[in-house]
Amino acid sequence: MSTRAFTLVELLVVIAIVAILASLAFPSVGPMIERGRSAKCAGNLRQIGAAVQQYVADNDYRYPAIETDPPSLPPEVEDGGTALEKLGPYGITEQALLCPSDAAKKKNHVKHGTSYLFSPILQDETPASVKIYSRRGIFQISNIGRLTVASDIEAVHANGRNFGLNVLKADGRVVQR
């Protein structure tokens, strides 16, 4: 009774084929990982958006005054706090304030305590009377869906050859730029 085993040549051919297939698949792995990170970041922003809406409903319909580093709030806003302090009671954790792409590059989360920049325009404003102050005067915004609540501090999500960022709008949408 004779048993047939693989020869060395057959084994090397199989290893070579597997290596060729792996080298063909490897360039497509990086963009898939980045798309996953971008999706996780968008999910974090949606969670932050839900917490902001709960905060607004519980606090006389005023947006939270979230202090960022460097400080972005005007001096007359006294009840500013960090994003974790303001939104923690609504289910936001340190992990939700961390963009996976930013964490991979170890940039803003370590320096600012969050990967997201909260808009100073909505700080301590009511949704019905958001005002923007400019050189041309004071403008009241009728459609708050155009305003940004939070976004990535910098463009960290690879979109082909360009880098983009995720943006949370005041109406709860998350868009990519």
pLDDT band at 18 (very low <50, low <70, confident <90, very high): very high
pLDDT at residue 13 tops 90: yes
Q: Beta strands of the chain (E only): which ranges? A: 116-118, 131-134, 137-140, 148-152, 157-159, 162-164, 166-169, 174-176
**pLDDT tens profile 151-160:** 887 777 776 6
Q: Are 61 and 127 in contact (CB under 8 A)?
A: yes
Radius of gyration of the CA atoms of the chain, in A: 24
DSSP state of 119: P
Residue 57: is it exposed, middle or buried by C-beta count within 10 angstroms (0-12/13-18/19+)? exposed
The residue type of 165 is: L
* Residue-level pLDDT at 21: 87
Q: Are 149 and 168 in contact (CB under 8 A)?
A: yes
The residue type of 6 is: F
Three-class secondary structure of residue 177 per DSSP = coil
Mean pLDDT of the chain: 77
pLDDT band at 66 (very low <50, low <70, confident <90, very high): confident
Q: What is the average per-residue pLDDT within 78-96? A: 81
* Residue-level pLDDT at 1: 58
* Residue-level pLDDT at 16: 94
pLDDT band at 73 (very low <50, low <70, confident <90, very high): low
What is the phi-psi region of residue 63: left when phi exceeds 0, alpha when psi lies from -120 to 50, beta otherwise?
beta
Task: Tell me the C-alpha distance between 114 and 66, whole Å.
Answer: 11
Task: Tell me the C-alpha distance between 25 and 160, whole Å.
Answer: 17
pLDDT at residue 49 tops 80: yes
Place of tokens 């968008």: 42
**To the nearest whole percent, how much of the chain has pLDDT over 70?**
71
Q: Which residues pair with 174 in a beta bridge?
A: 168
pLDDT at residue 171 tops 70: yes
* Residue-level pLDDT at 134: 58
